[in-house]
Amino acid sequence: MPSLVNTDDLKYRAFLGGDEVFPGVAFGDPLRDANTGEILYSEQHANTPKEIDLACQNAREEFLSGKWNCAFMKAQKAAVFRKASETLESLQERIARVDAIQSGVVISVTREIAKFLQGVLEEAAMKIEGGFPEARESEVTGDEEDQGTSPVSSGEEKDSSPSSAAKEAEKTKTKKKIISQPHPRGVTVVLAPWNAPAGSALPKIAGALVCGCPVILKPSPWAPFSLQLVVKSLLDAGLPPGMLQLLHGGPQEGQMMVSNPAVSVVVLTGGREAAMSVRQSVVTRPVCCLIESGGSNSLIVCRDADIDVAVGGALAGLTLLNGQWCAGASRLLVHEAVYAEFEAKLRKALREMRLGSSMNPQTDMGPLGNACILDGLKNLVGSTKERFPEAEDINEGETEVSGLSGATAQAGAEAPIFPRGEEKEQKEKEGPKDGPALSVCGSVKAPPSTLSERVRAFHLHLDHHLHGLFDAARHRRQKSHGESPQADTPQSCDSELRDVGAGEGALFFRPAVLKGLPLEVFAQREVFGPVASLHKWGGDSEGEIEEENKVVQAVNGVDAALQHYVFTQSSETSRRIARKLRCGLVQVNMAAPGFPAESPPRWSYFGLAGCGEEGNFEETASQFLLWQTLGPC
């Protein structure tokens, strides 16, 4: 599989104060190709404590020097981001392939994330050109201060008439300003996740840099490579080396960075354990934290929902990024009136999913990112079935994979050894067997159906939304420069990927949807994988509002929720339910990361889902600013 990737892109590189260094400390488990299990490195790699201290010192000195904030003019700063954006455009396919191998996320999605990166830097350049961040001014009227001298010279007789006094008073009144001006908070540590490393981290990195905060970036040890390409593009574009550094490591190295006294801001996208560790590390210091640690998210299907749309949303919520995303829907709550239809269509859609290599553009869902996630999900499904024998997995069953003796794919377990090369040709001759079809890219093909196509389109909501964000920034720039908007050119490299299969060591896990469970089973944990529970609500001969209140109470009975989903054809119903939900994001009739590009979103993290606020570029970037007010002047 690495033959499909530039081998230099899978080499460890750290960027330390303008120098490119190799992280020489070996630790942890082997780093593997998610599709084949092939070992890329026998151990993960980290930088030394001395290098971490030096990076923090470099960033602090860069911050205090004021070079980026004072010496660089707006046009120069914008030019850096624009040049880096152009570089990323040429690196899109390389970044997409590296992420597909690192994380197992299908390449049709990682390509859109790679396009999104270019849009982020375009947006940063335009914000700088537009004056962001800018001071805020207000005017006040006041009297001039007595400077100890009289306006009447010695020996002159002062005119004490009323008209003269009014004129004198008017003269002494002046217009003065109260000015609130932004200041960068300081050195920022960004701890990136492994499921969408560049797509998650770059908006925060760009926001911090635009606001004048030097950044020290640590990629996840499970996905260390794609962010190296992003950082190098910014440094090669002329960003001062002390403004952006990248070091490798695991939790121990992250702890060292966060605990360094030079650090003023910590950005983390990760699990609850990591979030609690960060908070404990900075509890004695005035450090600003922007933390997203996920939660238990629910999908509510109302009695008037379009069931095909709802099924597509459930499938997307369950399987986007292979189910490994913070906003994944782990509880599906369906109104009793439409439950039977929903379950039947979801069961059919799950069986028609194409499970296969993340490098194959025709794949619906790839392998999991690492063995720890796979083992955790297997244990979760297995232990849940043991505790609740009455529970049923609607995706239960196994499919014999023709051409491989004894190979089967079980729901909630590893998928089979997928065929490659000449085995693929034999499978195409034999065709699919009877029974529930597990469609494997490069081998068995699912029979076409309207529902399957509709679900697949919904499953790729990520493509449309991230592509929309990229297009919005690019087209605004083209318009401002008097250029004609250019359409994307189709991918020219799909031919070499279309027949790619997966290997023996791939970490596949078929989605599991368990019904017959108590509602609270998945309530207080982030599943972080393609596993959900299916529940029925309503039908208790109560009024509509009382039914809604009951389901909302159940959904809110968690200590952390990032995003919920509501499926209904009534705007009034969706708004009424959303007002009662305790989470930062509520999507209506869709399940995707983020909102359409033209919307101005802003959200907060509720409870243990995180801390801070995010939204569009300016909302996120404002987390890196302090404000100083002076005046009157």
Q: Which of 256-259's residues contact partners 24+ apart within 8 Å by CB, and which partners?
A: 256/49, 256/52, 256/53, 257/52, 257/55, 257/56, 257/189, 257/191, 257/216, 257/218, 258/189, 258/191, 258/282, 258/287
Q: Which residues contact 175 (CB under 8 A, 6 or more apart)?
A: 139, 140, 141
Indicate the pLDDT class of residue 219, thresholds 50, 70 and 90: very high
**Strand 173-184 relative to strand 625-630: parallel, antiparallel, unpaired?**
antiparallel
**Predicted pLDDT at 458:** 38
- Compute the average pLDDT of residues 103-116: 93
Which residue spans of the chain are classified as CATH 3.40.605.10? 2-25+48-132+184-293+610-629
What is the H or E stretch that residue 185 is in?
A: none
- Compute the average pLDDT of residues 424-451: 34
What is the tens place of the pLDDT at every residue in 257-285? 999 999 999 999 998 889 889 988 898 89
pLDDT at 459 over 60: no
The position carrying tokens 């090369």 is: 421
- Compute the average pLDDT of residues 363-382: 91
What is the H or E stretch that residue 187 is in?
A: strand 187-191
pTM of the model: 0.82
Contact 324, 368 (CB under 8 A): yes
Q: Measure the CA–CA gap between 297 and 441, rounded to whole angstroms.
A: 30
Q: Which of 3-12, 261-270, 273-282, 452-461 has the highest mean pLDDT?
A: 261-270
DSSP bridge pairs for 552: none
* Average per-residue pLDDT for the chain: 81
Which residue spans of the chain are classified as CATH 3.40.309.10? 297-459+510-598
**Predicted pLDDT at 129:** 94
pLDDT at 443 over 50: no
**Predicted pLDDT at 449:** 37
**Predicted pLDDT at 598:** 56
Q: Which residues contact 492 (CB under 8 A, 6 or more apart)?
A: none
**Predicted pLDDT at 464:** 41
Q: Which of 310, 342, 355, 354 lies closest to 329, judged by CA?
A: 310
pLDDT at 12 over 90: yes
pLDDT at 379 over 60: yes
Q: Which residues contact 618 (CB under 8 A, 6 or more apart)?
A: 127, 132
Burial class, 519, CB count within 10 angstroms (exposed 0-12 / middle 13-18 / buried 19+): middle
Indicate the pLDDT class of residue 397, thresholds 50, 70 and 90: low
Indicate the pLDDT class of residue 396, thresholds 50, 70 and 90: confident
pLDDT at 491 over 60: no
- Compute the average pLDDT of residues 505-533: 89
What is the tens place of the pLDDT at every residue in 399-432? 332 222 333 344 454 433 333 233 334 333 444 3
pLDDT at 90 over 80: yes
Q: Measure the CA–CA gap between 192 and 542, rounded to whole angstroms.
A: 47
Q: Measure the CA–CA gap between 300 and 547, rounded to whole angstroms.
A: 12
Contact 507, 34 (CB under 8 A): yes
The position carrying tokens 């996920």 is: 294
- Compute the average pLDDT of residues 320-345: 94
Q: How far apart are the first and last CA of the chain?
A: 65
pLDDT at 231 over 90: yes
**Predicted pLDDT at 158:** 54
pLDDT at 494 over 70: no
Q: Measure the CA–CA gap between 353 and 419, rounded to whole angstroms.
A: 17
Q: Which of 249, 252, 259 lies closest to 56, judged by CA?
A: 259
What is the H or E stretch that residue 261 is in?
A: none
**Predicted pLDDT at 272:** 86
Q: Measure the CA–CA gap between 498 and 362, rounded to whole angstroms.
A: 7
pLDDT at 597 over 90: no
Q: Measure the CA–CA gap between 61 and 67, rounded to whole angstroms.
A: 10
Q: Measure the CA–CA gap between 579 and 488, rounded to whole angstroms.
A: 39
Indicate the pLDDT class of residue 190, thresholds 50, 70 and 90: very high
Alpha-carbon dihedral sign for residues 558, 562, 567, 572: positive
More confident residue, 253 or 326: 253
DSSP bridge pairs for 603: 614
Percentage of the chain modeled with pLDDT above 90? 55
**Predicted pLDDT at 300:** 97
Say which CATH topology domain 297-459+510-598 has.
Aldehyde Dehydrogenase; Chain A, domain 2 (3.40.309)
Number of H helices and number of E strands within the chain?
18, 26
pLDDT at 305 over 60: yes
Indicate the pLDDT class of residue 295, thresholds 50, 70 and 90: confident
User: DSSP letters along 51-81, please?
Assistant: HHHHHHHHHHHHHHHTIIIIIS-HHHHHHHH
**Predicted pLDDT at 498:** 56
Helices (H), 431-498: 450-459, 461-480
Q: Which of 93, 39, 223 lies closest to 496, judged by CA?
A: 93
Say which CATH topology domain 2-25+48-132+184-293+610-629 has.
Aldehyde Dehydrogenase; Chain A, domain 1 (3.40.605)
What is the tens place of the pLDDT at every residue in 309-322? 999 999 999 999 99
Indicate the pLDDT class of residue 559, thresholds 50, 70 and 90: confident
What is the H or E stretch that residue 625 is in?
A: strand 625-630
**Predicted pLDDT at 604:** 87
pLDDT at 500 over 90: no
**Predicted pLDDT at 210:** 96
